[in-house]
Amino acid sequence: DSGVTQTPKHLITATGQRVTLRCSPRSGDLSVYWYQQSLDQGLQFLIQYYNGEERAKGNILERFSAQQFPDLHSELNLSSLELGDSALYFCASSVSPYRDTQYFGPGTRLTVL
């Protein structure tokens, strides 16, 4: 158990819909990362937040957005969902930018029908 929690574990929805994935980092960690893992793409870095501020941006689509709240939990919002958005979504957290070993959560499996 890494100490990072993600909800929900599974999510099934339809094309065109919007969903929100939630991540709670380890106690004391200030930085949160989001990743997408689909069968044909491997693990793709989406975005990083540090202490509420966006830090680095990867291959995140414009239909996706994220934020980190004052209590440091983070949410990833996916809208106008397409079949190709079906994937595992992982959140990771780290202590700080200077101790940036990432600890991953168990993931949310999103299925878009």
Residues near another protein (CB under 8 A): 2, 4, 33, 35, 37, 42-45, 48, 55-58, 88, 90, 92, 97-98, 100-107, 109
Measured between its terminal Cα atoms, the distance across the chain in Å is: 31
What does the chain come to in residues? Answer: 113
Using left for φ > 0, alpha for ψ between -120 and 50, and beta otherwise, residue 48 falls in: beta
Question: Which lies closer to another protein via its Cβ, residue 13 or residue 109?
Answer: 109
Question: Which lies closer to another protein via its Cβ, residue 35 or residue 64?
Answer: 35
Distance CA 41, CA 50 (A): 26
CB of 61 to another protein, least distance (A): 15
Question: Which lies closer to another protein via its Cβ, residue 13 or residue 45?
Answer: 45
